[in-house]
Amino acid sequence: MSGQPRPEIEIGLNAAIVAVSEKSPKILVVGDAGDLGSLPFGPFDPERHRTMEMSLRATVEAQTALHLGYIEQLYTFGDRGRYRQAGESGPHLVSVGYLALTRGNADHSSRLLTSGVHWRDWYAYLPWEDWRKGRPDLLDSVILPQLAKWAETPATAASREPTASRRARIRLAFGLDDFPFDDERVLERYELLYEAGLLQEAVADGRVEADKVSPPLGLAMRFDHRRIAATALARLRGKIKYRPVVFELMQPEFTLTELQATVEAISGRHLHKQNFRRLVEGAELVEPTGVSTTATGGRPAALFRFRRQILEERPAPGLKVGSR
């Protein structure tokens, strides 16, 4: 209504920065030891930077000493209460999330990082997403029984969703009954766990009591940064199937084994070696360099590079790994 003061709004920028090292997906986290980590973030200052992307790059460089390469906008996160603190009375914070990919060995890039900035295993935050060694035990021992119990709880004023709807969402998100497990439904799975009060973030937001979350399901992050990380993983898993973004994580020259390990790290699933090589050959995404390497410790392995001409030949070049 006119005449009423409008709430103050501040725009923040968050970056889910991803690298793959030692066959493991890593995400860059800011925070001292013992603290809840967070994604690199900072306010958008339109007086200093013409675009939000320019502002984000400057923020990340100042916080981490890391220069970003590939970057794309993910989503705008503006839910009320997402940054609530006891006694808080500041402006409402709306965050614009970004996905950023960087090449290089995250385990050996400490020279790029400042104090309190660390590369952490992505699946330490989302352990139910890692199927590379088969179906995670956590699903059947903890997650699905707890979700089934939550689905049967009576509707409340805060959530009037009927039991049948909850059951359907669980089946679709986790691939139960006749539904296949879809590796891109990362955010849906995270949000179900949050709504069911199974994550530490639900405690921080006052949804459940601290003693109700046991055992902890992955490492928590400050505010809703783990939700942003889940959104980034979902986007990246989907995008590698129709765009060659996986090569933004690779060195200019690589073996097919290294490429397979990177795709497995992001997709969270094991891929059959021969099937993967047929997939790569059929997609025509790489070309041999004519050079081999013995760095793998075994027989010399041929080195390949990304075949950039594919961008002019095909509208959606990617590695279409299927669902489980």
How far the first Cα of the chain sits from its last, in Å, is 51
| pTM, entire model | 0.89
> What's the average model confidence in pLDDT over 128-138?
96
User: What band does 116 get if pLDDT is binned at 50, 70 and 90?
Assistant: confident
User: What band does 110 get if pLDDT is binned at 50, 70 and 90?
Assistant: very low
Q: Is the pLDDT of residue 131 over 80?
A: yes
Contact indicator for 56, 71 with CB cutoff of 8 Å: yes
The confidence score (pLDDT) of residue 202 equals 87
The confidence score (pLDDT) of residue 8 equals 79
The confidence score (pLDDT) of residue 154 equals 82
Lowest mean pLDDT among 94-108, 214-228, 242-256: 94-108
Closest CA to 321 of 122, 173, 181: 181
The rounded distance, in Å, linking the Cα atoms of 232 and 177 is 27
Q: 61 versus 32: which is more confidently predicted?
A: 61
Secondary-structure class of domain 9-124 per CATH: alpha beta
Q: Is the pLDDT of residue 228 over 90?
A: yes
User: What band does 1 get if pLDDT is binned at 50, 70 and 90?
Assistant: very low
The rounded distance, in Å, linking the Cα atoms of 299 and 269 is 26
Q: 172 versus 213: which is more confidently predicted?
A: 172
The rounded distance, in Å, linking the Cα atoms of 188 and 219 is 18
Residues 270-299: tens digit of each pLDDT:
999 999 999 998 889 999 999 998 877 778
> What's the average model confidence in pLDDT over 240-248?
94
User: What band does 67 get if pLDDT is binned at 50, 70 and 90?
Assistant: confident
Burial class (CB in 10 A: 0-12, 13-18, 19+), 273: exposed
The rounded distance, in Å, linking the Cα atoms of 191 and 196 is 8
The rounded distance, in Å, linking the Cα atoms of 247 and 64 is 23
The confidence score (pLDDT) of residue 213 equals 64
The domain segmentation of the chain, as residue ranges, is: 9-124, 128-218, 245-313
Q: Which helix (DSSP H) or strand (DSSP E) does residue 152 occupy?
A: none
Mean pLDDT of the chain: 87
Closest CA to 104 of 225, 21, 32: 21
The confidence score (pLDDT) of residue 318 equals 84
The confidence score (pLDDT) of residue 111 equals 46
The CATH architecture to which 245-313 belongs is: Orthogonal Bundle (1.10)
Verify cis geometry, omega within 30 degrees of 0, for the bond prior to 215.
Answer: yes
> What's the average model confidence in pLDDT over 71-77?
92
User: What band does 322 get if pLDDT is binned at 50, 70 and 90?
Assistant: low
> What's the average model confidence in pLDDT over 103-130?
77
Q: Is the pLDDT of residue 113 over 70?
A: no
The rounded distance, in Å, linking the Cα atoms of 173 and 183 is 9
Using the CB atoms, write b or e for 282-302: b if 16+ within 10 Å.
ebebbeeeeeeeeeeeeeebe
The rounded distance, in Å, linking the Cα atoms of 187 and 201 is 15
* Residue type at position 87: G
**Percent of the chain clearing pLDDT 90 (strictly above):** 60
Residues 6+ apart with CB under 8 A from 296: 255, 257
